[in-house]
Structures are given as structure tokens and as C-alpha cells.
Amino acid sequence: MKKPNIMAKRYEWEALGKIFKKHKDLLDKQIDLHERTPLHYAAHCGRETSSGCCTSLWILERYEHLAYEKEDNELTTLQLLAKMPSTFKSQTQMGPLKIFIYLYHKYYNQNKEYTSKKEDLESGKDDKNEPSPTQMKLEHNTREGQHLKSGGKTAISWMWYTMWKIMAKEWEEIDKLWRKKEMHNLAKELVNLLAPKDYSWRNTAIARDRTVSMGRSQQEGKSKEIKGEQEGARKPTYTPLLMAACNGITEIVEVIIHFHPHSIEHVSDDEQNILYMAVKHRQKKIYQILKKLKMVRSLAGKIDKENNTVLHYTAEFQGGSQPGFAMQLQEELHWFDRIEKRLPYHYTIHKNKYNKTAKQLFMEKHEALLSDAREWIKETAQSCSAVAVLVATVVFAAAYTVPGGTDGNGFPRFLHETIFLVFTIMDIVALVSSLGSVNMFLSILTSPCEMWDFRKSLPRKLNAGFALLFFSMATTMLSFSATVLINIKLEKNKWTSTLTYAAAFFPVCIFALVQFPLYVAMKGCLRSLLRNLKKIIPRFLLNLVKKSRRKKLWDI
């Protein structure tokens, strides 16, 4: 048993496949100290190589009973996959360029070992025996028929695939994306094989009906705390559905719910359901799936073993995904509001075994983040207001310095020139926007910065301040460019003109690149503003816009 173990650790799956094909009894045996079978080991190694997933598929195609086998931690193959979020597309972080390449990458299963063995199984070939002439003729006719059906589409897709294959050989990053996409697709195929055979969700705990608590005596609270700590020492083992919900693996969650619709109501030993897992671990994609299925309200109306509602678990802060402490706190407050809206009012004032409401627990757990957010937003506003004042000073001085000088009557020499009009307008706009940004940053500095101010008020002010400051810098550079054009009179279509314009806008580009992550983080503020505007605008105007859109679509 030493040889397969070493080969598995070295990811030599093709050689292992040949061994398993000759010695089928090895597939049921454990190949390491953790009592893992070849299927468990291949699935576990699938996070790093696509060959691991491919080997798992090959094993499951032939030995379906291995899907129920467990390792020493009492985990099945599907549970192991649910613990590997990086193996799936939904939990893989990629930039815009990589997403573009990933989407337009043509995927084919290129693992010859898996495809050839699958064909052997379907055609009835053996290892030693060659296929009969009848089998070869049937295979040829089938392939020819498939090619005729697909027609030109096959040729175009194959050309597209070949182009990407050549590019993958030349560029390492494209090759990595190629392998990543192959791994994601194979993992999804593996889930599609395992999920229909998974019935672990049937072993569900009985969710007891608990009344809403408004508080209790201190002695009762202490006794329940001690009892809760003793029970909490035993951590429950979650099913693949709940484990996938914890890690945000939508591929597993969607497939399990598709094959087993009743699994969505599964309750763990600690009396928590899929919504609890999504809320606790901030898995928005899982929450959106439940929202589409219209199951949020029914799942939210439960109280778990520790007397917590689902709203209590919004207090579990595990680090935000947004840049800046203020944006992280805003994200947490938005998450709290989203869940609170789905609960009846009496659940929001419910107290857990520690005699705390969800709001009290949330504020207690987020005190450190609040202090960091206060410090961060104050320092940011202070530094940005200093820059805005500097811009306003420069622009104000430029307004009284007429480019090109004045004539004998005191009028600007280039008064009737278009470029002088551009300079004047840009200078005024820069002054107004810079002073506006100063006002926004000063309002942040004078704000008390309470917890719920970070929900809408402070991020909006910061967003407006950044936008006005960026706009003032851009218009200042435009007025500077106009001054250069007036004084130097650069000729059109010359490389010197292009270099001058590029140099003028260089500081603006740097500012935009540095502050871009904050603008992306604040897009939620813009969405909420648009929603509020929709509420103000009369309905008949919105209906007219919708009708005009429909007409355009029909015209197309």
C-alpha cells in the first residue's frame, strides 16, 4: 500500500489509474493514516490539480458505493469538496482581465485517461482485448453523425479552442486560467455525480418551538450559560449542504437543492439551518439563492439551541471585504439591516441566553471596528480637506492672473478666443467643486461619528467629498492646459501637444488610480440614492420610460 500512497502525494494520477484498473480491490482500501480511500484522496487533492477531480470522476463512474465511504473525520467525499471553496468558480477571485479570458476560454475535457476509460466502459472493451470491427464501425458512425449534426458550429468552436490552446502555450497566465477552468468544470461534474446520492440532509434535528424572550433573571442566565458551554464543547458535524453554505459554494448548494428540494429545510444538531450559515459567514450569494426561492422569511423564523435568532449572528464579524474600516462597518450595518427587514418585529427585540438583543450584541462585537472606522474617516477627511483647500487657493489665485495679459483698456487680449472661455469656465468650476469638497470633509470632521452614522450619512459625505475633489483636480488641470495653449500656442496634430496634455493630466490619473477601490466600495451608496430617487419620481413617468424601452426592444 506504500506505492499508491506515494504516487497520490506526487499527483501521479495517470499511473495510479493504471494500478487501480489492474487491482480493483485497492479502491476500497485506505491508502494513508487518515483512513482515506483513493476517492477521498483524489477529491482532497482536487483543490490543486484538475487530475485529482478527474480521477474522482473515473472512480465514481465505476464504483458508486464509494460515494458513501467516510474518512477518519467522518467526512464523505461531498463534505470534503464542500470544505474546498477554491476548487469552485463561485469562490475564485479574479480581476476584470482574467474574468474576460476565463469567460471566453473554450473548455474541453482533455484528460485522456478519463475519456478513454469512459469510452471503454460504454463500448465494453477490456484492458487486453482490442475492440471488435463492429464496435469500431459503430463508434465511427456515431462520431460522424455528431459532426454532421453540429455542422459549422463545431469547426468554429474548434478553431476558437485551438487559438486559446496556442496562446496558453505561449503565456503562462492563460495556461493557469485554462487549468483553473478545467478544475472548476471537473469539480462541478463531480458534484453532479455525488449530490443525487447524498441523503445526509434526512438526518435532521427537530427544531423546537421557542417563544420570544424579553429577558430573564441573572441566576437563570448564569445556569444556562454554564449548561450552554458544556454543550458547546461538542461541535456538530454539518452536512454537505450546510458546509457548502458556510463556504459560499453556490455550485454545491444549487445542485443539492435541485435534486433534493426538501433539503433546504434541513436543521443541524445545534438547530441551525442554511440561512444561519449564510448570515453567520456573510455569504451573500447563498442568501440571494434563498431569496429567489422565497424561503428567507420561513427559515428566519427559527430560534436555535443557544436561544439566538438569525439576527444575532450578524454580530459575528470575521473581517470585511471592503477597503477601509468605514466601508467595512457600512457593509456590516447594511447586512444587519437586510436581515432585520426580513424578521418580524418581536424577533428583533428577542434576547438570547446571555440576555442580549441582536442589536446590543452587534454593537458590542463591533466596538473595535467602530473605533478604527472613526479614526480612519477622521484622518482621511482631514488630509483630503487640506488638499481641497490647496486646490481652491491655487484656482482662486489663477482667476486673477489673466493668461496672455491685458490690452490698453484692461481687457484680456484673448477675450474672444474659445480657449480663453474654456480656461474661465474650468477655473470657476474647479473653485466651486474644491470649496464644496471642503464643506463635505468639514461636516465629517464635526460629526459625532456614531455607529449608525456609518450606515448612510458618513459614507455619502465621504463619497461626495471624493467626487468633488477629483472633479476639482480634473478641471484645474484643464484650466492649466488651457493656459499653456494660450501662452505657448501649440500647433495641432503635433507630438509636443500630445506630451503637454499627457503631462497635465498625469496627477489626475494617479489620484483616480489610487482612490478607485474606494469608489468601487461606495457604489452601494449610489444604488441607494437611485432607489430613493425612484420613490420620489411619479409612477407615470417611470411607466413611460419602461414603455419606451419595450418599444425599442420590439423595433430591434
- pLDDT value of residue 118: 42
In a domain, 361, yes or no: yes
Planar angle of CA 87, 90, 94, nearest 5 degrees? 90
**Is residue 483 domain-shared with residue 501, that is, in the same domain?**
yes
State which of 315, 335, 365 marks the end of a domain: 365
**Is residue 350 domain-shared with residue 444, that is, in the same domain?**
no
What angle, 0 to 180 degrees and rounded to 10, lies between the N-to-C axes of helices 325-341 and 457-488? 130
Q: Which of 31, 40, 29, 36 is nearest to 67 (CA)?
A: 40
- pLDDT value of residue 275: 93
Q: What kind and span of H or E run contains 18?
A: helix 13-22
In a domain, 169, yes or no: yes
**Is residue 391 domain-shared with residue 343, that is, in the same domain?**
no
- pLDDT value of residue 302: 84
In a domain, 143, yes or no: no
In a domain, 222, yes or no: no
In a domain, 192, yes or no: yes
**Is residue 391 domain-shared with residue 359, that is, in the same domain?**
no
**Is residue 79 domain-shared with residue 104, that is, in the same domain?**
yes
The CA-atom distances, in angstroms, between 441 and each of 403, 467, 468, 530 are 32, 12, 11, 23
Task: Dump strand ranges (E) for 491-553.
Answer: none
**Is residue 17 domain-shared with residue 72, that is, in the same domain?**
yes
- Please say whether the beta carbons of 389 and 397 come within 8 A: no
- Return d(Cα 459, Cα 455) in angstroms, integer: 7
- pLDDT value of residue 376: 93
**Is residue 388 domain-shared with residue 419, that is, in the same domain?**
yes
**Is residue 26 domain-shared with residue 95, that is, in the same domain?**
yes
In a domain, 153, yes or no: no
CATH code for the domain of 438: 1.20.120
**Is residue 279 domain-shared with residue 341, that is, in the same domain?**
yes
- Please say whether the beta carbons of 177 and 43 come within 8 A: no
**Is residue 323 domain-shared with residue 360, that is, in the same domain?**
yes
Query: What total of structural domains would you count in the chain?
Result: 3
In a domain, 555, yes or no: no
Q: DSSP letter string over 183-201?
A: HHHHHHHHHHHHGGG--GG
- Please say whether the beta carbons of 295 and 305 come within 8 A: no
Task: Report the amino acid identity of residue 53.
Answer: C
**Is residue 336 domain-shared with residue 311, that is, in the same domain?**
yes
- Please say whether the beta carbons of 349 and 214 come within 8 A: yes
State which of 365, 390, 407 marks the end of a domain: 365
State which of 340, 365, 390 marks the end of a domain: 365
CATH code for the domain of 276: 1.25.40.20
| Long-range Cβ pairs for the range 457-460 (8 Å, 24+) | 458/326, 458/377, 459/326, 459/327, 459/330, 459/522, 459/525, 460/525, 460/529
3-state secondary structure of 352: coil
Q: Which of 336, 362, 326 is nearest to 525 (CA)?
A: 326
In a domain, 139, yes or no: no
- pLDDT value of residue 551: 44
pTM of the predicted model over 0.85: no
**Is residue 497 domain-shared with residue 359, that is, in the same domain?**
no
Buried b (16+ CB within 10 A) or exposed e, 154-186: eeeeeeeeeebeeebeeeeebeebbebbbbbbb
Q: Could you report the average pLDDT of every consecutive run of 10 residues in the chain (556 residues)? A: 52 57 56 54 52 54 57 74 85 78 64 44 41 38 44 64 74 79 82 86 73 58 48 67 92 92 89 91 92 89 87 84 85 92 86 90 92 93 93 87 72 75 88 93 92 90 87 84 71 65 70 63 61 69 59 39
- pLDDT value of residue 540: 65
Structural domain containing residue 491: 373-521
